[in-house]
Structure 1
Amino acid sequence: MNNKQLPGTNIMLSPITYGAFAIGGWFWGGADEGEAIKAIEAAIDNGVTTIDTAPVYGMGHSETVVGNTVKGKRDQVQLLTKFGMIWDAEDGDFAFDTKDNDGKPVKVYKFNGKQSVIEECERSLKRLQTDYIDLLQMHWPDSTTPIEETMEALEILIQQGKIRAAGVCNCPVDLLTRANAVLPISTNQLAYSMVNRGIEKDMVPFCMENGIGILPHTSLQKGLLTGKIKPGHIFNEGDHRPNTPYFKEHNHKEVMKVLENIQQIATDRNISLAQLTINWTMQQPAITSVLVGARDAAQMLDNVKAASFKLTPTELAIINTALLDMDLSL
């Protein structure tokens, strides 16, 4: 794979990052840990060496699974995790009510206070079974904590050698500007896909101008852009996707029309729609590495093939034209 440099560092990331949200179980209707381990192993064995997780994914479960899987392979992987979504204290901004993997009610808060960030990092290091994290990211902004304070915590962790680089997620341009003034920010992780392109207007130009990479998540639009989830699909209990905008009946049908219009490209190349979608995302400006989840090894191996080809300018133009015809109601 043609690895890409994490901006401002000598760390090389694989062009596809294994996104470990779903393997935490929480929010995705459960997950099979054995299959998750096989998925991560398949990723590493096939060149996807960058892994992104977060404490809140299963209330520590995703980080624990990742840590158990990469034990003994630390020098082969780049570990990315986050902080700032807490469930064991009521600080900061209330985010939402949920249930953990055992069905216990949990309140999640967004909180990025300096001491909390440092303590969260320590817990993540233990779950991941490592003494350093390659990229530690603020999961969400928090209105009760000045972002300058949060960046000071990350600077301390860099000085201590516990993290190698600092990143943010879901951060608008104004806050990103303030954060970058305190500490060089390597990346901003944001929702971005063929059907969700809102960051292209302001965020992409800003990141390109300031040498900040974008780590797009939800690039397959929670599985919708694989073409495998048809209208009327029955999801497992606890799966959040039916309540998201793109899975509403009208939008779902509109996206399916787009997929039908670009299916011929996939057919001619003998690739899947998922591979086409990931490759399209990889080729967009400012993209450092595309986050893609996989519940099992077969899904991961399918995703890996997205890095084995490059869509032509003509193919990209056909895709972009099809996207212009889409009429979403969001």
Structure 2
Amino acid sequence: MRYRTLTGTGLDLSVITFGAWAAGGWMWGGTERKDAVEAIRASYDLGVNSIDTAPIYGQGTSEEIVGEAIKGIPRDKVYLLTKYGMRWDLVKGTLASHSKNNSGEDIDIYKYAGKESVIKECEDSLRRLRTDYIDLYQIHWPDVTTPISETMEAVAQLIQQGKIRYAGVCNYNVEQLAEASRYVDIVSNQVPYSMVKRGIEAEVVPYCLGQEKSILAYSPMERGLLTGKMKPGHKFSEGDHRAKLYFFSEENLRRTNAFLETIKPLATEKGISLGQLTLLWTLEQPGITIALVGARNAEQAIQNAKTTDASLAAEEIAFISSELDKLELVK
């Protein structure tokens, strides 16, 4: 495993960080807790020392699973990254979506990061994670109903109290990053980034490089699209959010797989999977500090963790990028 320091912190995170969204089951067609716990532990055994989760993932389920999985591991040997600012148990802020919980019951999810809510969420996360501090605490989505200054006042208070070590944000644009940084030291921005979703390259990446902020790339395999395992005609299970995403249309599956076939010989030559090749390319892109990668079971987790057993030369990265430039998806 390779490690990179979160800029401005003492956190040396594994470049493959366990992303625990799918582990929570919500929007992924349910979860098997035993499999999820085993996946996290298998990752840790191979050097994955950081786990990213959030309260909204399974409405607390993901954080509970993470807490169970790290039981017995010395606390200073694992880094816990979680979030705040999405409430399913409070009607306040901006309605983000109508959804269903893991029991199939209707729930409404709100983006809300008022001071009292942030403090409550932190306490709830500490309890579910079975810890007394969080290494990186991140706002999940911007909340346009609450001044950023108020949200960050709560974060600063939690840092002062020792309940969180560092502050990060997710899905923030450059203007939001700059404002939040006026009130508290924002060390990172967690944003979607993959071979087929590269919008952050225009403004967010240059800003973060210039301001020395780390970028945590989520969905680097675009929710499984870039593994090469999904073919036209793929059927998703009930409750799987991917069924409605344009990435997984018949035409886009065909186009993506055609691209993946062009780089597959390189993966074969290195003895790695297409998913691992995708991750290696992602980790070599400017500004990207770590990649968050999910796994539903130990087998997937082990394959993800072994990604860094291989590496890419500059000419190989250039070859993949040149082939990628020919791929155009239909929206």
Fold-level match, TM-score > 0.5? Answer: yes
Partner of 1:163: 164
Partner of 2:139: 138
Partner of 2:32: 32
Distance 1:75 1:177 in 2: 31
- 1:72 is displaced (CA, Å) by 2.1
Aligned residue identity for 2:129: L
- Give the % identical residues: 52
SS of equivalent to 1:82: strand
SS of equivalent to 2:169: strand
Partner of 1:10: 10
1:126-275 correspondence to structure 2 within 5 Å: 126-275=127-276
Partner of 1:93: 94
1:237-316 correspondence to structure 2 within 5 Å: 237-316=238-317
Partner of 2:54: 54
Distance 1:318 1:284 in 2: 13
Distance 1:69 1:268 in 2: 35
Aligned residue identity for 1:13: L
What runs of 5+ residues in structure 1 fail to find an aligned partner? none
- 1:225 is displaced (CA, Å) by 0.5
8 Å contact 2:232–2:251 — kept in the other structure?
A: no
- 1:35 is displaced (CA, Å) by 0.7
Aligned residue identity for 2:134: I
CA RMSD, Structure 1 to Structure 2 (Å)? 0.8
1:55-70 correspondence to structure 2 within 5 Å: 55-70=55-70
The C-alpha deviation readout for 1:194-224, integer Å capped at 9, x for no partner, is 1111111111000000011000001000001
Aligned residue identity for 1:148: S
Distance 1:95 1:122 in 2: 23
TM-score normalised by length of structure 1:
0.98
Partner of 1:109: 110
The C-alpha deviation readout for 1:233-265, integer Å capped at 9, x for no partner, is 111111110111211222221111110110010
Distance 2:12 2:324 in 1: 32
- 1:23 is displaced (CA, Å) by 0.8
Partner of 2:323: 322
Distance 1:286 1:327 in 2: 24
Aligned residue identity for 2:4: K
Distance 2:11 2:264 in 1: 36
